[in-house]
């Protein structure tokens, strides 16, 4: 697709960005020295609309109590709001049942929770058996949160950790799929959309092979659920992890979706209050899902805030969000390609990729790029390895500069980025 | 534009034309230091001579302009001086970097290294400036142990 004909500004492409920006008060603030804020770091964490802020504030002001255990009026209002957030999130990702939505503190916890179920002596379910000779499959483009929990699992159980390589273009290399995912494979866990490359991975061929060999499959959807319509029934995987703060919701709240029959078979991850059915001094029985996995007082207001975030995104329309970001990405890929000495790390086109674009500038370290962009132009990008060090090693680079777009970004902001990069080159040239 | 003042001309000069870069023989000790938050790294060798002199500081590494320029300035300052003098500069440089921009730099002690004063206002970048200098201190101690 050519990109220059798409101008995702107010009144075009269906998304009224100017109106949307009014929902995000932080975008209008000035930085010290009178610089306007140009926020291009939503893959790191997104900003929050007033609808989310007001919902959380209103709950704290008028309804707050503990959930699930307080019999008084506030307790039941809080419980109702908390559980209704679960309903909203279940509907948002197409979960067949609300009980399949587990609140965690982030996507990392969700992945750790699943990893904990494998090779666990308290879990006799055959699907979670894991030991020496068994294999776990991830990929080279994973965020550390989808690498380290599996490394820990391999160390605990003696299982072998294997991974899909990444092509020069930044795509998952599945040419060795049939050998890599085999009869010894117990779980395949890959990222849905890369937080560095922007690549959106095709799930179906890998899932088909996993099913063939009887392995389970998990998706790290932290970067996809905020940016496109995701339906777990359509995807067909077994587990899906994502986090609230990247989808206009608050931090401190994440989600694990899992197939009910698997969640039922899995052992509790954290023990504590509200995850039990009955407790004796020497043993306990556990609450049914989702509460089996929600030990202790949960992030109540954060969960309710995430419910409001889902309402907000639904009201805008996820297809609209995706279309807008695609137009921005096309615009940015074209504009960045014009900068001499700039190399994009990841797909150069908009097919099967999201609005996250990472790049290197010849002879200039990303930390220097980020510092000048921020300090001179108020442009917030992320620099470093973005918690994906193995991927950077794969490309033989220590770090990249990453720009990432969301529903509130404009082509003007991309123009500002391009001007900023030209200035960076002048300073260090 | 605070950061532009951080990127002093002298720092950019050292970044673009690093002094004494590259690992050389002979050496008494070699160390490898990394900054895990940004992936900057330096390998640094020290060769001591008679009379407490520093005969050579050679280094290689990768990182931002601040970390690479700091290694270059260190090379210029330490090579040919005495161990004692150079460690005094390291201490003064460390004090300046960790002073959050509130410390008055002693230019007589620091020489060219005074150009890094602006970095102290950026806590995230202080480690970049200190990377090679901490490696140097480590390498000198190991060299002395080896002697």
What's the total number of domains in chain B?
1
Beta-carbon contacts below 8 Å between A and B = 53
Cα–Cα distance list, A248 to A4, A45, B121 (Å):
28, 8, 32
Share of chain A above pLDDT 90, in %: 93
What pLDDT shows up at residue B123?
85
Q: Taking phi first (over 0 means left), then psi (-120 to 50 degrees means alpha), and beta for anything else, what does residue A64 get?
A: beta
What tens digit of pLDDT does each residue of B62-115 get?
Answer: 899 999 999 999 999 999 999 999 999 999 999 999 988 888 888 888 988 999
Interface test with A, best of B3, B5, B18 (most A CBs within 10 A): B3
- The residue-averaged pLDDT of A174-200 equals 98
What pLDDT shows up at residue A130?
98
Nearest to A308 by CA among A25, A114, A84: A84
A365 and B64 in contact by Cβ < 8 A? yes
A428 and B2 in contact by Cβ < 8 A? no
**For residue A187, is pLDDT > 60?**
yes
The tokens describing A32, both together, are 């010290």
Say how far apart CA B130 and CA A310 lie, in whole Å. Answer: 45
Of B3, B39, B63, the CB nearest to A372: B3
What tens digit of pLDDT does each residue of A70-119 get?
Answer: 789 999 999 999 999 999 999 999 999 999 999 999 999 999 999 999 99
* pTM for the model: 0.91
- The residue-averaged pLDDT of B34-46 equals 87
Which CATH number covers residue B104? 3.90.1010.10
pLDDT band of residue B7 (cuts 50, 70, 90) is confident
Measured in angstroms, the CA of B144 and the nearest CA of chain A are apart by: 33
CB within 8 A of A235, min separation 6: which ones? A203, A207, A219
What tens digit of pLDDT does each residue of B114-145 get?
Answer: 999 989 988 888 999 999 999 999 999 999 88
Contacts of A31 in chain B (CB under 8 A): none
What's the distance, Cα to Cα, between the start and end of chain B in Å? 48
What tens digit of pLDDT does each residue of A382-406 get?
Answer: 999 999 999 999 999 989 999 999 9
CB atoms under 10 Å from CB of A168, counted, come to 9
**Does A162 contact B at CB distance below 8 Å?**
no
Domain that holds residue B34: 2-146
Residues 332-371 of A with CB under 8 A from B: 364-368, 371
Measured in angstroms, the CA of B65 and the nearest CA of chain A are apart by: 7
What tens digit of pLDDT does each residue of A34-84 get?
Answer: 999 999 999 999 999 999 999 999 999 999 999 987 789 999 999 999 999
**For residue A1, is pLDDT > 50?**
no
């Amino acid at each position: 697709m050519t990109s220059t004909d798409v101008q995702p500004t107010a009144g075009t492409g269906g998304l009224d960005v100017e109106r949307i920006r009014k929902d995000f008060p932080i975008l209008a603030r000035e930085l010290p020295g009178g610089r306007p804020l140009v926020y291009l770091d939503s893959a790191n964490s997104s900003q929050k609309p007033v609808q989310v802020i007001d919902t959380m504030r209103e709950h704290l002001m008028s309804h707050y109590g503990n959930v699930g255990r307080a019999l008084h009026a506030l307790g039941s209002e809080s419980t109702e709001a908390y559980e209704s957030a679960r309903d909203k999130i279940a509907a948002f990702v197409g979960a067949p049942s609300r009980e399949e939505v587990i609140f965690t503190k982030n996507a990392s916890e969700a992945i750790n929770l699943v990893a904990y179920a494998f090779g666990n002596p308290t879990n006799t379910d055959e699907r979670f058996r894991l030991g020496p000779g068994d294999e776990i499959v991830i990929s080279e483009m994973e965020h550390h949160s989808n690498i380290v929990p599996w490394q820990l699992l391999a160390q605990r159980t003696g299982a072998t950790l294997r991974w899909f390589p990444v092509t020069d273009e930044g795509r998952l290399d599945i040419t060795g799929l049939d050998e890599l995912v085999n009869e010894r494979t117990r779980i395949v866990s890959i990222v849905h959309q890369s937080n560095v490359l922007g690549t959106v991975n095709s799930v179906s061929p890998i899932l088909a092979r996993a099913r063939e060999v009887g392995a389970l499959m998990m998706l790290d959807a932290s970067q996809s659920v905020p940016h496109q319509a995701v339906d777990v029934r359509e995807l067909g995987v077994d587990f899906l992890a994502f986090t609230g703060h990247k989808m206009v919701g608050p931090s401190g709240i994440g989600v694990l979706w899992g197939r009910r029959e698997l969640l039922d078979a899995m052992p509790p991850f954290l023990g504590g209050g509200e995850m039990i059915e009955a407790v004796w001094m020497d043993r306990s029985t556990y609450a049914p899902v989702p509460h089996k996995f929600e030990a202790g007082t949960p992030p109540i207001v954060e969960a309710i805030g995430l419910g409001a975030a889902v309402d907000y995104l639904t009201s805008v329309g996820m297809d609209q969000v995706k279309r807008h970001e695609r137009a921005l990405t096309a615009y940015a890929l074209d504009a960045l390609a014009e900068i001499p000495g700039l190399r994009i790390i990841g797909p150069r086109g908009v097919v099967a990729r999201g609005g996250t674009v990472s790049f290197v500038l010849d002879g200039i370290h990303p930390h220097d790029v980020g510092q000048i962009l921020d300090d001179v132009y108020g442009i917030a990008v992320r620099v470093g390895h973005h918690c994906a060090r193995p991927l950077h090693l794969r490309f033989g680079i220590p770090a990249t500069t990453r720009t990432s777009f969301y529903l509130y970004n404009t082509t003007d902001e991309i123009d500002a980025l391009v001007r900023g990069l030209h200035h960076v080159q002048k300073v260090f040239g | 534009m605070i950061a532009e003042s951080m990127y002093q001309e002298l720092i950019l000069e050292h970044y673009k034309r690093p002094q004494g870069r590259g690992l050389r023989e002979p050496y008494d000790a070699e160390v490898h230091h990394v900054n895990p938050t940004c992936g900057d790294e330096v390998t640094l060798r020290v060769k001591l001579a008679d009379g407490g002199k520093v005969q050579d500081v050679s280094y290689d590494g990768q990182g931002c302009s601040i970390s690479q320029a700091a290694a270059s300035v260190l090379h210029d300052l330490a090579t040919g001086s005495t161990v004692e003098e150079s460690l005094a500069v390291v201490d003064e440089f460390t004090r300046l970097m960790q002073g959050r921009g509130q410390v008055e730099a002693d230019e007589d002690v620091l020489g060219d290294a005074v150009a890094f004063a602006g970095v102290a206002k950026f806590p995230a970048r202080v480690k970049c400036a200190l990377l090679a200098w901490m490696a140097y201190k480590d390498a000198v101690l190991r060299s002395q142990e080896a002697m």
